[in-house]
Amino acid sequence: MEDCATALQTLYEKEVYEENELHQNAKDAFSSYVQSYASYPKNIRHILPFKSLHLGHIAKSFCLSEAPSSLNAALPNQKYSRPNFKKKPDCKPVKRKFQTISEYDSGLSSLGSDFGGKNKKRKKH
């Protein structure tokens, strides 16, 4: 029985590889299956872990002799090259100037000089 299944699988794979449209459809179906499997909700991912999938076995079920290498690069959980957003070593950090104010200060004394007025000291009586 197993020999018959193997022969039938081989026959299907040969047919898929001979016809370009069937081959493209098989690759698209494989890609869609893997992407849908990877997008399961978080609450069931522990039941169906994506990392435990054997892509070669899944490809075989779509009459592909191996997982298409062009799809392997675009599959989820693969390492992508990310742009480097780190600071450049030749850039100096920007120094910010902060005005120091006491927590008990109203801040009004500094406003007088900013608006062209003079800071007057009050005389104590």
Cβ partners under 8 Å of residue 59, min gap 6? 30, 65, 66, 67, 68
pLDDT 10s digits, 51-109:
788 888 888 888 888 776 655 554 555 454 556 666 566 667 777 776 666 677 776 66
pTM, two decimal places:
0.50
Share of the chain above pLDDT 90, in %: 3
Q: Compute, in degrees rounded to 10, the torsion defined by CA atoms 5, 8, 9, 15.
A: 180
